[in-house]
Amino acid sequence: MVARLSAKRRQDVDSLMRAAQVDQSELGAAFKGEVSGPSVLRRLAPALGVHTADLFVLAGLDVPSDLAPFAAPPDPILDHVVRTALRLPLERCEELLGVARSMPPPDPIAPIVRERDPFPYGPGAVIVRLLRNRNLNNLNSAKMLYRLAGIGPLSAATIQVVGHGRRELSPELLSGFATVLSFQVEELAALIDIELPQACPPADAKTRQVAELIWEVRHLSSAQLRALQDEFGADA
């Protein structure tokens, strides 16, 4: 995975070692798919330009509790906030993004217990677990795929089928997931080892902003999302 991404970016080993502050043996192990220690992944993630929680998913490991979303998956208010953000001018959407970033995680009444999805490791499972890192359940994943990429609307069950590897990741579907996850589709394809027959157009600036917003609100509660909607909804 690391080797494929580095090759796609034409990133040489020396620059990656310096950026990640890992030695040659650690990086060599990573290139062979032998990374087992979380500390190496935590150092590699910023050097690769990948969220640390996402790198754990890509490596087939459980996401540490300090990197997982704090709040329970949001109710339909997330869809309202995303639709509002898509209608706002770029400058106002940037303000929304800034306010979302400034909000502290809610104090949970009880710890959020998350069961691991029962998916066999594979491209579809990786995609769905990356969506979980954004606190998106199957229903909200389908909604975000439709809002940001115009795919569907699909059912929540379809996302589950993707996770089990029973739905082919066509170039269009992979491009849609990459948009929601804020990945370049060619790099996501390299990470999960899927060949793309042709280049896919990148998402526009507004869509990229909203995908970033989805990441930034992954820790927020429904009440905090409603506060965002109350503040910015009248401008949309």
So what's the pLDDT on residue 116? 74
Nearest to 135 by CA among 224, 203, 200: 224
Q: Give the integer Cα–Cα distance in Å for 110 and 108.
A: 5
Q: Which residues of 45-63 are buried (b: 16+ CB within 10 A; e: fewer)?
A: bebbebbbbbbbbbbeeeb
Whole-number pLDDT of residue 33: 64
Q: What is the pLDDT of residue 3?
A: 74
Domain ranges of the chain: 2-49, 77-235
pLDDT along the chain (236 residues), means of 10: 76 71 70 69 85 90 88 89 96 96 80 74 94 95 97 95 94 96 93 86 93 96 94 86
Only one residue has tokens 């589709």, namely 185
Report the predicted TM-score, pTM, of the whole model to 2 decimal places.
Answer: 0.90
The one-letter amino acid code at 42 reads: R
pLDDT of amino acid 202: 86
Return the pLDDT at 13: 67
